[in-house]
Amino acid sequence: MSKIFVGHHKEWGIARTGTSKENVAYQIGCDTVDDLTFTEIEKTDYLLRDVPEEFKSRLSYMAYEDGHAYGQDEIESKLSDLVSDLLPCIKAFEKRLTTT
């Protein structure tokens, strides 16, 4: 499984995500990874972070079915596409449920 690194600068309070600790440090603009604290997250969990629990397994399954023949990177790409396409609709539906 792919990993995502979430880095927080200890003094500046800036947070960024990336595929490596060095990538995060570069995005923030600090010289070393020693200035940062990191959290390591599975990429699929990171992609599904804003999705309601009821949809996570179905979206994961759909991505797996479409992409597993081509490897983990393709599954994650499919999942990213599904989340970006469906999350606005899911959030609008959630809002409608809570305001009715």
Per-residue pLDDT of 1-33, as tens digits, reads: 789 999 999 999 999 999 999 999 999 998 888
Token digits of residue 83:
């989340």
Mean pLDDT confidence for 20-47: 93
Give the model's pLDDT for residue 100: 67
C-alpha distances out from residue 39 to 5, 9, 18, 19, 75, Å: 6, 12, 11, 12, 23
Instruction: Determine which of 33-37, 64-68, 87-91 has the lowest per-residue pLDDT on average.
Output: 33-37
pTM for the predicted model, two decimal places: 0.83
